[in-house]
Structure 1
Amino acid sequence: MLQLAGLPIYYENPIGRLYEHPDGYAIVDYKAGTRQLSTYQAFLNHLENLLKSRGWNKMLANQRLLTPFTDEERIWIREQWLVVSHALQREMIAAVLLPDDVFARLGMNQLMHEAREGVLLYRVFNSAQEAATWLLQVA
């Protein structure tokens, strides 16, 4: 189980919450439900701001409640948001807790396969503790 009690909330909107972890990474905790693209873009832009302001390039993404990405969301993530790592001058590192929804899981896998090499290093986990441990081990 993901332990969030006591962690500072950096941002929250209908998409989810962004937390600052004292070990030097962001926690992205998605809420259930459908998303509006503009609200989703705002959420990820705040994640970008958090990473930049702290000099971080790591995140733990809890996608368990995530619904499938729309084509529009997938394109925006791949062609716009993943470019963030270039602005950070570092590869983005993500520990991902996969969605419970099988279609959301398939969409996430497709997006990760489409991501450009050198832009995103990710690994999927069933356990939040294993994900956090891995984040501490990677450079």
Structure 2
Amino acid sequence: MPPLRTPQLHFENAVGRLLEHPDGYAVFAYKPGKRRLADLQALLTRTRTLLERQQWHRMLGDQRLMAPFTAEESAWIVDYWLDAAYQRPGGLYGAVVLAHDVFARLSMDQVMHEARASALTYRLFENEENAAAWLRQLA
């Protein structure tokens, strides 16, 4: 049996962890609790940088422990982060593992509704295994 291919930690802060998956995609997993906008910006900016440096077009966002986005966070994600995805040749594919918190799910829905023009193609999943399987199909 081949050894398990485990993701390598790339960056971590109070908001979450960013991992490099050996199958060629970024994984970011939110930590529970309130966030500072600067910490969220740092995590997502590092994610963008990793995707660009590796020339990857796939990511897995693990939102299971995530608290709802604030209005300020939502605005920054739509105006800056997803706008950058729109400018990427070929766009970006995201597998999102849904948050346990219903309000966090609603805030995610609102962000994606506001970002309709984004080049982010995403699917929502209840577990990481199915999300990763979808990303592998896109390789």
Q: Name the structure 2 match of 1:12.
A: 12
User: Over the residues paired in the alignment, what is the CA RMSD in angstroms?
Assistant: 1.7
1:47-76 CA distance string (max 9 Å, x none): 011101100111111000000100000000
Q: Contact conserved, 2:6 with 2:21, CA < 8 A, in 1?
A: no
For residue 14 of structure 1, report the CA deviation from its aligned partner. Answer: 0.4
* Identity %, equivalent residues: 47
Using the alignment, how far apart are the partners of 2:83 and 2:113 within structure 1?
Answer: 15
For residue 118 of structure 1, report the CA deviation from its aligned partner. Answer: 4.8
TM-score when scaled to structure 2?
0.91
For residue 116 of structure 1, report the CA deviation from its aligned partner. Answer: 2.9
Question: What is the correspondence of 1:54-133 to structure 2 with a 5 Å cutoff?
Answer: 54-133=54-133
Question: Number of residues paired by the alignment?
Answer: 136
Which runs of no fewer than 5 residues in structure 1 stay unpaired? none
Question: What is the correspondence of 1:40-51 to structure 2 with a 5 Å cutoff?
Answer: 40-51=40-51
Using the alignment, how far apart are the partners of 1:120 and 1:60 within structure 2?
Answer: 12
Q: Name the structure 1 match of 2:138.
A: 138
For residue 6 of structure 1, report the CA deviation from its aligned partner. Answer: 3.9
